[in-house]
Amino acid sequence: MPTTPNKQQSDSPKINLIRHHHSQPYPKINLYRKIAYSFAVLAVLLALIVLHFSLSKAVITVIPVKEKTDTSFIIDVADKTLPPELTDYNTIGGEITEQTISRSQTFPSTGVKTVPAPVIGYVTIFNNYTRDQSLVATTRLLASDNTLFRIKKAVYVPAGGQVDNIEIYPDQPGSGANYPAARFIIPGLWEGLQDKIYAQSFTPTSAGADETTVVSEGDINNAKQSLINDIISETTDKTANKNDGRAYFITQEILDFAASTEAGKEEKEFTATLILKTQTVFFNEQDLFQAAQKKLQAELPPDKILATIDTQSFVYSIEKYDKQTKTANIKVFLSGETIMKQNGALFNKSQIAGMSAQKAKAYLKQLPEVKDVEIQLTPFWNKWIPILEDHVIVEIGNRG
């Protein structure tokens, strides 16, 4: 019979076999568990990444540089009413009236003409005789070289006396100028008295100059302009009472003008007559302003839009009036400021996608059309411009 120790020895391998059989599954369970944990972490990371991209958003506010722009153009004012949809920057509707006015007026002459004056001189008449002597006007005075003068007015010379400053003039017009001082006999007296009653000049005779009033060329031109101004002023007053708040211009056409005398004539006054045809052009200033806005907008480059319009710059003036078509041409000026369009080539989001906010801001600010940039990122931990372009919003700001 086997002994007990032998029995124990025979049972021992069986026990070991059983223990070995139960120890093999544990490593596989750990591996599976690790794989599961890894997938779970990856899923969380992926979810976080998806969440990050879905929540990431950038709002970029661009403060654009404003640029000056203006337009100057000619627009027609037609003598008819145009509905707003037919009003453009080529034609607006209006009203044109015409009238012919004739006016005459007397004007003073202001021209001055210098004409030669008669030669004159002055003598002293001496009477060394015992009787008074009367001399009539035009009494002759004869010089030693037979140059003849006459006294201008009658004179009374007392006996033993003299009369000074007697005016004389040459017998022949145009002669005797600058005749030197001399002694003159009075040939009309008895020869025995001629050495006792005589005349003496002490200064040379002189040829003076007179001024006379004449009609000047300027007088005639000023008269024409004065008549035009009077008619236009009268027409303006009448127009102001019927324009119903509309703007208007008045043009004129001179049909005839005549003066009663010619330039250079010695006249103290003259009469001028003017026949003037006026055309009054009425139009709505708001229609003109809207046409100027359309013109300003039409001339912008495709990547620009109007930011502001300078209403103070809006000015206009009439250029001409076509009496055949009854159309007035008006020159218009308007200015404003432009900025870039929001959907322009500048806003290519792919250029800044994935950049840091700092780099994106620096990139945009170096563009000549950009004055400043503001970037807001969400969520709060995000520091980068989203790669998804639909998560990038670009706005145009008004600051500056």
| Entry pTM | 0.55
Residues 45, 119 within the same domain: no
Tell whether 66 is covered by a domain. no
Residues 199, 129 within the same domain: yes
Tell whether 97 is covered by a domain. no
CATH number, domain with residue 205: 2.40.30
Residues 116, 45 within the same domain: no
Last residue of a domain, one of 195, 211, 227: 211
**Residue 390: predicted pLDDT:** 79
Tell whether 388 is covered by a domain. no
Instruction: Write out pLDDT tens, residues 211-230.
Output: 889 999 999 999 999 999 99
CB contact set of 14 (below 8 Å; sequence gap of 6+) = none
Total domain count, the chain? 2
Tell whether 19 is covered by a domain. yes
Tell whether 118 is covered by a domain. yes
**Residue 178: predicted pLDDT:** 85
Last residue of a domain, one of 169, 194, 211: 211
What is the distance between the alpha carbons of residues 49 and 28, in angstroms, rounded to a whole number?
A: 31
Per-residue pLDDT of the chain (400 residues; tens, 9 = 90+): 444 444 444 444 444 444 444 445 556 677 777 777 777 677 667 655 555 566 678 888 888 888 899 999 999 988 876 555 555 678 888 888 889 999 999 999 999 888 777 888 999 999 999 999 999 999 999 999 999 999 999 999 999 999 999 999 998 887 888 899 999 999 999 998 999 999 999 999 987 677 889 999 999 999 999 999 999 988 888 887 766 777 888 888 999 999 999 999 999 999 999 999 998 888 888 989 999 999 999 999 888 888 889 999 999 998 888 888 888 899 999 999 988 876 655 667 778 888 888 888 888 888 878 888 888 888 877 788 888 777 888 887 775 5
Tell whether 246 is covered by a domain. no
Instruction: Write out pLDDT tens, residues 193-202.
Output: 999 999 999 9
Last residue of a domain, one of 186, 211, 236: 211
Residues 116, 207 within the same domain: yes
Tell whether 131 is covered by a domain. yes
**Residue 336: predicted pLDDT:** 93
**Residue 364: predicted pLDDT:** 84
Q: Give the structural domain span for 134.
A: 112-211
**Residue 83: predicted pLDDT:** 58
